[in-house]
């Protein structure tokens, strides 16, 4: 039973296309953290997954939508996306979200 330490400079960036990219951070089966960076004007299209998600704004500004409710978010703001909720984000000013999921997004592993 060990903690999984992940130095930021040992992570790799995956280009998601369309002006966004993702870094997979520390994770185990129960919890997974990832940074997702967006260029200004980039949209994270509406989508859904069974995992519960928390997004925390590390930098930039976003219009974030969950189940039709849209809020502008700035650094330090956070939101919970319940499992199954339709959500997406429009980047108003370039920046990075910290997304944490439970359970782990198996589709992010090795992707």
In sequence order, the 6+-apart residues with CB closer than 8 A to the CB of 23 are: 8, 11, 12, 13, 14, 34, 35, 36, 37
Residues between 43 and 72 with contacts to its own copies, criterion CB under 8 A: 52-54, 56, 58, 64, 66-67, 69, 71
Among residues 71 and 93, whose Cβ is nearest to its own copies?
Answer: 71
| 16 near its own copies (CB under 8 A) | no
Residue 38 DSSP code = E
Adjacent-strand bridge partners of 62: 73, 91
Which of these, 99, 101, 86, lies nearest to 46 by C-alpha position? 86
| 111 near its own copies (CB under 8 A) | no
The answer to whether residues 63 and 90 touch, using CB atoms and an 8 Å cutoff, is yes
| 22 near its own copies (CB under 8 A) | no
| 25 near its own copies (CB under 8 A) | yes
Among 12, 17, 30, 45, the residue binding its own copies under the rule CB under 8 A is: 30
The binding site for its own copies (CB under 8 A) comprises: 1-9, 25-28, 30-31, 33, 35, 52-54, 56, 58, 64, 66-67, 69, 71, 73-85, 87, 98, 100, 102
């Amino acid at each position: 039973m060990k903690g999984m330490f992940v130095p930021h400079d040992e992570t790799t960036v995956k280009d998601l296309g369309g002006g966004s990219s993702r870094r997979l951070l520390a994770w185990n089966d129960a919890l997974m953290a990832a940074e997702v960076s967006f260029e200004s004007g980039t949209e994270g299209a509406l989508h859904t997954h069974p995992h519960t998600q928390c997004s925390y704004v590390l930098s930039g500004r976003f219009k974030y939508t969950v189940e039709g409710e849209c809020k502008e978010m700035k650094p330090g703001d956070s939101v919970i996306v319940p499992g199954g909720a339709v959500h997406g984000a429009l980047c108003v000013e370039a920046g990075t979200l910290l997304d944490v999921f439970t359970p782990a997004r198996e589709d992010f592993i090795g992707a």
